[in-house]
A and B are shown apart, each in its own frame.
Chain A
Amino acid sequence: KAGVTQTPRYLIKTRGQQVTLSCSPISGHRSVSWYQQTPGQGLQFLFEYFSETQRNKGNFPGRFSGRQFSNSRSEMNVSTLELGDSALYLCASSLEGLADSYNEQFFGPGTRLTVL
């Protein structure tokens, strides 16, 4: 079974631009979560989607948004990029994502975004 795939793997943008990152979960997985990893802030939760609905959101500004499609693939968008948005963006998928239970999350390799 193929793992979580993220595209592109590397991206270079300039301040003020916007960017869209894509995540394809493991086949059959319906929950997709996004995390930002930076040297200064570590790993921080961005949001989680299940059945095309955002169920949980971290403490990030509105410039960060996401969506999930009917095939469970997910995209995240960052508008008006800032230098501080340079990070590794990780996507994780899990089987059911039921509330009040834990389902193992499988992480993709990440997209390395550099903002110049």
Chain B
Amino acid sequence: GNSVTQMEGPVTLSEEAFLTINCTYTATGYPSLFWYVQYPGEGLQLLLKATKADDKGSNKGFEATYRKETTSFHLEKGSVQVSDSAVYFCALSLRSFQKLVFGTGTRLLVSP
């Protein structure tokens, strides 16, 4: 079946540290890949996306590259801020209408 695996959290970093959150996927076909972010008490916001192999999604200093050979879509940011503290979800869609398959989420805690 189709699935997404994310690294366990929480990830605890100091402000300005480098962030990597690992994400790998299993899918039949060629999925689109996404990172969503959820702030406390809120719904999900799309952070970035990539729709084909070697695409790089980027937004607000976050980046992720669609690696077909390693079936990965790791999230990175060069310098995190306290305001980045949230739960990050990796997800895929096989364009089966609008169904998203999510990973379990990784909580990021950034301290000043």
Contact = CB atoms under 8 A, between A and B. Distances in A.
A54 to B, nearest CB: 10
Given A90-B43, A107-B45, A42 B98 contact: no
A110 to B, nearest CB: 5
Main SS at interface, chain B: loop
A55 interface: yes
Contact of A45 (B89, B99, B104): B99
Contacts of A92: 44, 98
Contacts, number: 64
Contact of A48 (B42, B45, B95, B97): B97
A28 B96 CA distance: 21
B105 interface: yes
Interface residues of B, number: 24
A90 B95 CA distance: 20
Interface string A81-116: 000000000101010010111111111111000000
Given A42-B105, A102-B32, A102-B51, A90 B99 contact: no
Interface string A3-16: 01000000000000
Nearest to B93: A102
Interface of A: 4, 31, 33, 35, 42-45, 48, 50, 55-56, 58, 90, 92, 94, 97, 99-110
Interface of B: 32, 36, 41-46, 49, 51, 89, 91, 93, 95-105
21 contacts: A31-B98, A33-B100, A42-B102, A42-B105, A43-B91, A43-B100, A48-B97, A50-B97, A55-B97, A56-B97, A90-B43, A99-B95, A101-B95, A102-B32, A102-B51, A102-B98, A103-B98, A105-B98, A107-B44, A109-B41, A110-B43
